[in-house]
Amino acid sequence: MAIKRPRRRGRPQTVLPLHSSSTRNAVSCWYCDFKIHTFNEALFSLGRRYSRFIKMWFTVGAAFSLVTLTGVSLMLLWDSTDALTLPLRTSGVNGLLQRWLFGTTFLFPGSISILDASCMIISTMLSVGVHEFGHGIAAASEGLRIEYIAVFLAIFFPGALVAFDYDWLQSLPQSSALRIYCAGIWHNITFSAACCLTLISLPVILHPFYLYGQGPLVLAVPKASPLYGYLSPYDVIVSVDASNIKNPHEWINIMANYDSQMLPEPYVTKGIQSFEALSHIKGYCVPDNWIKASSTSCGDELADFVYWPCNNSRPVFDNIRDKMNKSESKHCLIARDVVKLKKCWSWSGFNVNGSIGRVCECLEDETCMTPVQIPGMSWVEVTYSSPYSSQCLEYRRNASTYSENYGFDSTFCGGTFVFIGDALSLAHSIHLSAYQPRWTFTAYMAHMPDALEKFLACCFHISASLALVNSLPVFFLDGESILETVLCYFTFLKRRPRLRFLRFCLVGGTILSIISFSRLLYFMIAARK
């Protein structure tokens, strides 16, 4: 995190050992740094060469940073008052930091892999580098020489800074100093915007090499996942309950909607929810000879099915509760065979007027039957394909031979299975990607879009958080320098009252920030448990 540059207009130096006379690396029991002098001349030359353009760029940045500082300060005040009335809710700065500063923790659910940790470390270093480059190039455009760039560790907190010639800094106009102090925040904001635009444009950028939105590609199936053994890495999920899905977001939304879905009127008044819960009246056209050969005791691969009598428009509800509670009306069928049959009834969902999107379309020698579920459990039918598996590739190479032996309805390139249980447990239990390699397939090609998405998302979160934190009116951050310079424009305030007001704002802002961060940390720890 960027630490405030020492100053400035007669004020004492910061507690960090960054005096301009010391250009050697500093090491102490609580602080150490590494000073870099290699880029001093190159950065100064670049800033002077494009001085006019850079000044215009950072003038816009200064205006934007002042708006950000004002907005963050107001949110900090609102957050402190909100904490007194609603102590268990996060809002204001807390809400922004929860989505930005700690938002990266939700990009990597469960255990963090080496790739995830590398993304976080590299994006942090890049965001801090962009921040400090903003300060350095802004200072160079004003003719202010850079003494060194330092990477430091204060206690356990890493950071970086750019050291200036402070005697020359004090002689600069207030507008120039303000541009220098706001440069880091402005660069972090623009860097976050660039990462966001790149992330949105990633499907177009990767279009020559990847298919996007053609079904989520399974990258990993942990052993703790309920789908372990059903899906394999590099399978493609085609549909869920006969509804095609295009990307991982649709997969998560479908699973999350299972708990929120309820049978609408007039079916609730008919008592449908009072007996064994049906999985949203999902029906299958089961041949009558299967029903006659079925048993009434179900084993591991068998599931309970009951008749779902119907006419051409809606189910017949008369005496249906009594029929479904009788054991002789239940039939145990092999679920993996039933899911291959034609579907009947409400796979398309309920309409607003209470009618069902699908009617009984079974043949005369078939009966519409629906699985019986325990309340709170869902019947989830997942269809997948395995286009990159060795068996499927071999099948494609020898399609004619396989067709003669197995028929055209081969399962070498996919299949369908049923999950019975808590659908929400499926949502984040597997690692999915919205991209499928278009040409050649390798593990590297399959994981590269996911790594790019994570890296860009990390850069966005961390860079935006860095801009937000440095906009806070607290000690040792850019917000202190910006606030001090802005107060110099209020000429009706004498020097001593201005310094008192500045100290009051910084003390108050620091205390409120500590409280806000403490509450946020508490909420984040509680959410992870």
Write the pLDDT tens digit of every residue in 265-284. Answer: 333 334 444 333 344 567 88
Q: What is the pLDDT of residue 136?
A: 92
Q: How remote is the C-alpha of 61 from its chain's centroid?
A: 28
**DSSP reduced 3-state for 90:** coil
Q: Is residue 234 part of a domain?
A: no
CA distance 223 to 202: 31
- Min mean pLDDT across 120-129, 357-366, 424-433 is at 357-366
Write the pLDDT tens digit of every residue in 139-185. Answer: 999 999 888 888 877 776 677 888 887 778 878 899 999 999 999 99
Q: Which two tokens stand for residue 518?
A: 């403490």
Q: Is residue 495 part of a domain?
A: yes
Element (H, E) at 215: strand 210-220
Q: What is the pLDDT of residue 355?
A: 41
CA distance 184 to 469: 11
CA distance 92 to 406: 63
Note down the domain range covering 139.
31-202+452-528
Same domain flag for 99 and 186: yes
% of the chain surpassing 90 pLDDT: 29
Same domain flag for 365 and 509: no
Q: What is the pLDDT of residue 161?
A: 81
Q: Answer whether residue 5 shows pLDDT above 80.
A: no
Whole-number Cα distances in Å, 430 to 108, 110, 454:
12, 11, 16
Q: Which two tokens stand for residue 410?
A: 């081969």
Same domain flag for 38 and 125: yes
User: DSSP label at 11?
Assistant: P
- Min mean pLDDT across 238-247, 324-333, 348-357 is at 348-357
CA distance 475 to 413: 62
Q: How confident is the model at residue 109 (pLDDT cuts 50, 70, 90)?
A: low
Whole-number Cα distances in Å, 394 to 233, 238, 387:
18, 21, 10
What is the mean predicted confidence (pLDDT) over 407-429?
Answer: 75
CA distance 76 to 471: 11
Q: Are 182 and 404 in contact (CB under 8 A)?
A: no
Q: What is the pLDDT of residue 364?
A: 80
The count of C-alpha atoms lying within 13 angstroms of the C-alpha of 206, restricted to the half-sphere facing its C-beta, is: 25
User: Which of these, 199, 226, 257, 230, lies nearest to 434 by C-alpha position?
Assistant: 199
Q: Answer whether residue 205 shows pLDDT above 70.
A: yes
Q: Is residue 16 part of a domain?
A: no
Q: Are 189 and 483 in contact (CB under 8 A)?
A: no
Q: How remote is the C-alpha of 302 from its chain's centroid?
A: 38
Cβ neighbors of 363 (< 8 A, separation 6 or more) are 285
Catalytic status, residue 132 = yes
Q: Is residue 79 part of a domain?
A: yes
Q: Which two tokens stand for residue 260?
A: 């929120």
Cβ neighbors of 10 (< 8 A, separation 6 or more) are 170
What is the mean predicted confidence (pLDDT) over 457-472?
Answer: 91
Q: Is residue 218 part of a domain?
A: no
Identify each DSSP E strand in 233-361 by its residue range.
236-240, 243-244, 282-287, 302-307, 330-334, 343-345
Q: For the chain, how big is the Rg over CA atoms in Å? A: 32
CA distance 468 to 411: 53
CA distance 275 to 324: 8
Q: Domains in the chain: how many in total?
A: 2
- Min mean pLDDT across 230-239, 305-314, 331-340, 491-500 is at 305-314
Q: What is the pLDDT of residue 284?
A: 85
Q: Answer whether residue 512 shows pLDDT above 50.
A: yes
Q: Which two tokens stand for residue 167?
A: 């005697």
CA distance 224 to 222: 5
Q: What is the pLDDT of residue 119?
A: 87
> Could you say which of 372, 405, 430 is where a domain stops?
372
**DSSP reduced 3-state for 296:** coil
Q: Is residue 72 part of a domain?
A: yes
Q: Are strands 236-240 and 378-385 parallel, antiparallel or unpaired?
A: antiparallel
User: Which of these, 449, 528, 427, 459, lies nearest to 104 by C-alpha position?
Assistant: 459
Write the pLDDT tens digit of every residue in 29-65. Answer: 667 888 888 888 999 999 999 999 999 999 999 999 9
Whole-number Cα distances in Å, 342 to 208, 358, 360, 382, 446:
37, 12, 10, 15, 34
Strand partners, 2: 160
Torsion sign across C-alpha atoms 130, 131, 132, 133: positive
> Could you say which of 326, 357, 372 is where a domain stops?
372
- Min mean pLDDT across 55-69, 128-142, 288-302, 381-395 is at 288-302
CA distance 328 to 295: 10
- Residues 477/480/486/491 CA torsion (nearest 10 deg): -160
Which of the following is catalytic: 41, 132, 301, 366? Answer: 132
Phi/psi of residue 433, nearest 5 degrees: -135, 145
Q: What is the pLDDT of residue 373?
A: 66
Same domain flag for 286 and 163: no
Q: How confident is the model at residue 216 (pLDDT cuts 50, 70, 90)?
A: very high
Cβ neighbors of 501 (< 8 A, separation 6 or more) are 487, 493
What is the mean predicted confidence (pLDDT) over 368-383?
Answer: 78
Whole-number Cα distances in Å, 421 to 239, 258, 381, 389:
18, 11, 11, 28
Same domain flag for 58 and 187: yes
Q: What is the pLDDT of residue 189?
A: 95
Higher pLDDT, 456 or 418: 456
Q: Answer whether residue 383 shows pLDDT above 60.
A: yes
Q: Are 51 and 141 in contact (CB under 8 A)?
A: yes
Q: How confident is the model at residue 219 (pLDDT cuts 50, 70, 90)?
A: very high
% of the chain surpassing 70 pLDDT: 71
Identify each DSSP E strand in 430-491 by its residue range.
431-437
Q: Is residue 189 part of a domain?
A: yes
Q: Answer whether residue 451 shows pLDDT above 80.
A: yes
- Min mean pLDDT across 286-300, 353-367, 384-398, 428-442 is at 353-367
Write the pLDDT tens digit of every residue in 8-36. Answer: 333 433 333 333 445 666 666 667 888 88
Q: Is residue 489 part of a domain?
A: yes
Same domain flag for 63 and 159: yes
Same domain flag for 321 and 174: no
Q: How remote is the C-alpha of 5 from its chain's centroid?
A: 34
> Could you say which of 340, 372, 404 is where a domain stops?
372
